[in-house]
Amino acid sequence: MTGLPIRRLVLYEPPYFPGVEEPRASDLPDRLFGLIRAAKLDDAVATFLLEGPRLPPTAVEARRGTPMWQEALQCARSLPYDSIIQISFKLDPGRLADVRIPTLLLLGGASSPAMRVGTEVIAGALPNAQIVVMPRQEHVAMVSAPDLLADVVKAFLAVN
């Protein structure tokens, strides 16, 4: 069985943080798995946000109890895998230069500067990429503004 060819690519704030001096802790995935096994999903989400994208503690605390936090709790079991990707990913601009398909990179207008820089670096390495900024959104527009996200993706797919 063969897969269908990929004709378009959509990336939403890829977890690439250039210029971050201190690497992610290599034991983060194991600690997250441990928290999940212990049914401490709240702690797993907080730990991931503090150590993965490195949100400040005040930003993590401000999210607790919000609808977005509840969504994050439902996705908590994927966080160790997200952290494995963050730890192991190494940008190879040469390989990305070979990706010629139209690529949409989505960026939240209220996202952290680190998300913006990483998205811009990856867009710069892809020869057929464009960035669309979604006003007033962070990394979770699929929760906070699903209709906006769907409209932006549909518009991209309709043209490309």
In this predicted model, what pLDDT tens digit does every residue of 115-151 receive, in sequence order? 899 899 999 999 999 999 999 998 878 878 999 999 9
Q: Where are the alpha helices (DSSP H) in 26-136?
A: 28-37, 41-51, 57-63, 67-74, 79-88, 93-97, 113-125
Of residues 72 and 131, which shows the higher confidence score? 131
Buried b (16+ CB within 10 A) or exposed e, 21-50: eeebeeebbebbbebbeeeebebbbbbbbe
Predicted structure pTM score: 0.76
Binned at pLDDT 50, 70 and 90, residue 1 comes out as: very low
